[in-house]
Structure 1
Amino acid sequence: MAHQIIIVSSELDLETERIINYLSSNYDVPINAVFFRYFKQDQQEFITRSWLIDPTIVEERSTNPSKESKREKWNGQDFVVNFDDSEYRNWEDAVRFGFVSAGNGNWYSRTLKSLFVGARVFCMIPKHGYVAIGRVTQKSVPLRDAEILFEGQKRKLVDCKLKAPNMVHDIDDLESCEYVVTVDWIKTVRKEESFWIKGLRANQNSAYKLTNQYTIEKVLEHFGLDESE
């Protein structure tokens, strides 16, 4: 009889998150965490759900232990960034103005702080696939402080004409506001052209170290890039 461990929580401390990812990635333990968030807009009430690790990835690891049994070392530069294309952020904005972002709570935005200048990001849109590769040019800052270089001029991102209708949500609340990392894109595609095949790496963190060489090679190959770019 197969068993699964699912931790239900409103938030998770960093140490517990590391343990869950370690057990899942290195020992194929079918363990995951699910988060529920309540919010109210106008007269409507909502509950959203998000997983720490994509459940399909957990299932694949636990049923194919040999595929993930050997731990791969991080190359010191590559990250995956999940860009949740929604009312709070728009992929066309991200391409045009050169950035990635996350917000609506510290759990979502805090992992962007791991991105350093020069880091290479493999950007994916959840439930779609990989849409871009780029290099970080500025570290994570609140939206109100974010500046981008557009048409040769430095501008405040918040002053730009953005398609995302609610990106400026909670702009003065440093816990809930949008956080922005500027990126020099090497290759981008439209959301409809996103790349995904079985075996590519994914989890629910806004940003995380990409240690899976298979993902690196396949995404680079699909976008017509080589390791040096």
Structure 2
Amino acid sequence: MTTAIIADDEDLPRKELRRMLAEIWPELVILAECEHGADALEAIHQHAPDIAFLDIRMPGMSGLDVAHAIKGRCHAVFTTAYDSHALDAFAAGAVDYLLKPVSASRLKEAVARLKERFASKQVAPDVSQLMLELDKRLRAPAAERIRWISASVGDTIKMFPVEKILFFSSDEKYTRVVSTDDEAHVRKPLKEIVDGLDPESFWQIHRSIVVRADAIAKAHRDEMGKYTVELRGCSERLKVSQAYAWRFKPM
């Protein structure tokens, strides 16, 4: 029996993919449908599926983040609305992708490749490096990256140069911006800010926290294996979620 989960934050594409899979691969058992990356990661831990169909961009934890976290525990197939310039990262063929809206012919090709891998007992590859490359390609080009963050505080506009920002953290309504000597809140969602940052300079360590990489002084691991991060020039300790703990594994 071959099993899978489907993760997509949009209801219609998720249900349409399930319907198409039922027609093309009726023997495939769908163990869970997930709306968020965190739910997908939990479902993979709970059900240990053979395949994870992951939307590349979901709020909070993306499909790329889930792929980092599972480290080859199951075969990944990505669904995406992005065009081919980003999808060149898949050229090696270790991971398959489906361009939205998913066509039946393209899904049949992906299913055939998956069946071949299972027939030859290929182990699911660890695609961490590929995911890093794809994440870079999906971010804004250097010319379009954010240079400044402006925040309104009463009648004052505070200006934060990106190179002085220590971390961003978000709640449902605001994103908190903390620099070496000040902080403020902006209404722009963290996801939109992240897409405009240099992925080499800023690391997501939690669905609601992004830190400047060169500001990290130490990562602490407790007896449960959970990490917190200590930044230079900041007294706060920031939580690292399971999906991003791979960044702090000893070399």
Q: TM-score, normalised by structure 1?
A: 0.30
Higher relative contact order (CA 8 A, sep 6+): 1
Larger Rg: 2
- Return the structure number with greater helix share: 2
